[in-house]
Amino acid sequence: MIKLGIIREGKTPPDSRVPITPKQAAQIRDNFPIEIKVMNSPNRCYSNAEYEKEGFKMVDSVADCDILMGVKEVPIDQLIADKTYFFFSHTIKKQVYNRDLLQAVVDKNIRLIDYEVLTGPNKKRLIAFGHFAGMVGAHNGVMTYGMRTGEFSLKRLKDCHDYAEAMEIYKTLQLPAIKIVLTGTGRVGMGAKKVLEDMGIRQVGPKEFLKNNFKEAVFTQLQCRNYAARKDDNSFEKTDFYTNPTAYKSIFAPYAAISDILINGIYWDNAAPAFFTKEAMRTDDFNIKVIADVTCDIAPVSSIPSTLFASTIAKPIFGYDPKTEGVTEPFGENTVDMMTIDNLPNELPRDASESFGSQFIHHILHELLKEKSAILDRGTVARDGDLGKHFEYLRDYLNG
């Protein structure tokens, strides 16, 4: 019998999402040889009472469990040695701010399985919150433009009971003739596209977007070939772009010159070109007034040079002054308004958690019962006091 513990989120500010909802936990308990314990938490979108209704007794410790599941990074002082953990560690791109976390995981002989690298044989991710990140990012980008101009207003998604309430609001939304450029066609990009369409914003092709003026709100969705090109001017090849990103340059400038809002939903490789430079943001050819950076890689190693830090759900927007290259109050005449929340799905926590738990049950749960699992192996960042075999590239990062 496997003992699985749902931990209390310890990161500040606390995340209210859960990896498994109460009904999903009951489904697992009733159909698999898995015992589930749930830690007390005042912050979850699903309350203690909802878990208790499904027959779970709240506990203050899950130290007797074999596997511990959370959402965000676990604070170092809350890690329990010699356990298997599932959470988003934000270490696989050598994020400096989490180096100490990975070192602690190794020192404590923890097996860390990162949701972000649980992939199938085709190397595609099996479990993610990205769709909801894109949804909230798009909503917040349009909302920020309304706050900047005063031409319309949108209720925060975090203040809606669920997305169904937001859709009712969209039915009466009247938008000016704004131009929105959306980057990315994966989970994040498609989530953002859904919201823009639900708002009644018409999608146009990249060429039409660049050539025409519109009397209505429109958006275009860019693929890699629309914003990157080879430096030697040879033809664009998607596979080559992914494997050889340093050979490419940005060709995003025409979109920056005519767009009002940028919603960035790509997965960015550290070696790939940024969309634009800080210098370009100071020119008259840069028209973008609002950037919703769902990708949220922090400058200077980032696709958006003005993403100086991650904003929060409590304070979602900051102003970026291209002249000083620093932070200022939002909504100023010469500022670019930045929305860079790094836990966007937490604004739709119930919808996002239900979807995430469903993916976990469908793709990952059976892997826990196997003696050997290639899927779990590929997602194991650390184990046995060392890096997982697929993460040797993190050695210099781990060693500081």
Predicted local distance difference test score (pLDDT) of residue 123: 87
Q: Is 122 exposed, middle or buried (0-12, 13-18, 19+ CB in 10 A)?
A: exposed
Same domain, 74 and 198: no
Same domain, 372 and 302: no
Predicted local distance difference test score (pLDDT) of residue 318: 98
Predicted local distance difference test score (pLDDT) of residue 38: 98
| DSSP output for 57-96 | PEES--TT-SEEE-SSPPPGGG--TT-EEES----TT--G
Phi/psi for 143 (5° steps) reads -60, -45
Same domain, 161 and 252: yes
Give the chain's residues under pLDDT 70: none
Angle at 391 between CA 311 and CA 298, to 5 degrees: 20
Same domain, 245 and 291: yes
Domain endpoint, select from 308, 327, 347: 347
Same domain, 79 and 199: no
Same domain, 238 and 141: yes
Same domain, 179 and 122: no
Question: Residue 386 sits in which domain range?
Answer: 2-127+349-398
| Count of structural domains, the chain | 2
For the segment 16-57, what is each residue's pLDDT rounded down to a tens digit? 999 999 999 999 999 999 999 999 999 999 999 999 999 999
- Whether residue 217 contacts residue 201, with contact meaning beta carbons closer than 8 Å, is answered with yes
Question: Which residues 6+ apart lie within 8 Å of 225 measured at CB?
Answer: 236, 238
Distance, CA of 323 to CA of 320 (rounded, Å) = 9
Question: Which residues 6+ apart lie within 8 Å of 233 measured at CB?
Answer: none
Same domain, 175 and 321: yes
Q: Whole-prediction pTM value? A: 0.85
* Domain containing residue 271: CATH number: 3.40.50.720
Cβ count near 129 (within 10 Å): 27
Predicted local distance difference test score (pLDDT) of residue 196: 98
Domain endpoint, select from 347, 363, 390: 347
Predicted local distance difference test score (pLDDT) of residue 12: 86
Between the alpha carbon of residue 248 and those of residues 251, 303, 341, the distances in Å are: 9, 13, 28
- Residue 97: which of 72, 126, 122 has the closest Cα? 72
Domain endpoint, select from 321, 347, 373: 347
Same domain, 370 and 335: no
Same domain, 160 and 228: yes
For the segment 150-209, what is each residue's pLDDT rounded down to a tens digit? 999 999 999 998 899 999 999 999 999 999 999 999 999 999 999 999 999 999 999 999
Residue 339's DSSP bridge partners are 292, 317
Predicted local distance difference test score (pLDDT) of residue 329: 97
Same domain, 99 and 234: no
Predicted local distance difference test score (pLDDT) of residue 159: 95
Same domain, 204 and 118: no
Predicted local distance difference test score (pLDDT) of residue 78: 98
